[in-house]
Amino acid sequence: MSDAHGIRIAAPNRASAGEVIEIKAMIQHEMETGYRRDQFGRQIPRFILERFECLYNGKPVFRAELFPAIAANPFLNFFIRATESGTLDFRWTDQDGHTFSERVTLEVV
């Protein structure tokens, strides 16, 4: 799965100033809890995402900590207020410190 850590993002391309917009993000990740065993009884090592954040023009507007109880392929849904045109950066980090990111642009009219 190492090359499959994709993300799906649903965010509007444009919004009016002051509008509250909905952002949805789903990250492909197994979120292995570390509590399971395989068919031979061996413990499956924990492998989870630990942090997720969304930056609006470089400023954090949403941040989440993730734990083993969160299901595979975490789905985060949140709202932000559109103030100026710019970028939304999504960043997520796994327990080994690997960080992945994706950017979308937002036009405020």
The site for other proteins, by CB under 8 A, has a size of 14
Select the residue interacting with other proteins from 26, 61, 104, 108 (CB under 8 A). 26
* Rounded Cα gap, residues 50 and 109, in angstroms: 35
- 6-10, long-range: CB < 8 A, 24+ apart: 7/90, 7/92, 7/100, 7/102, 9/90, 9/102, 9/104
Which residues in the 54-83 window bind other proteins by CB under 8 A? Answer: 71-73, 75
Of 6, 13, 2, which is closest to residue 74 (Cα–Cα)?
Answer: 6
From residue 1 to residue 20, what is the string marking binding to other proteins with x (rule CB under 8 A)? x--x-x-x-x----------
Contact indicator for 89, 55 with CB cutoff of 8 Å: yes
> Could you tell me which stretch among 26-34, 50-58, 78-86, 97-105 binds other proteins (CB under 8 A)?
26-34
Q: Which residues bind other proteins (CB under 8 A)?
A: 1, 4, 6, 8, 10, 24, 26, 28, 30-31, 71-73, 75
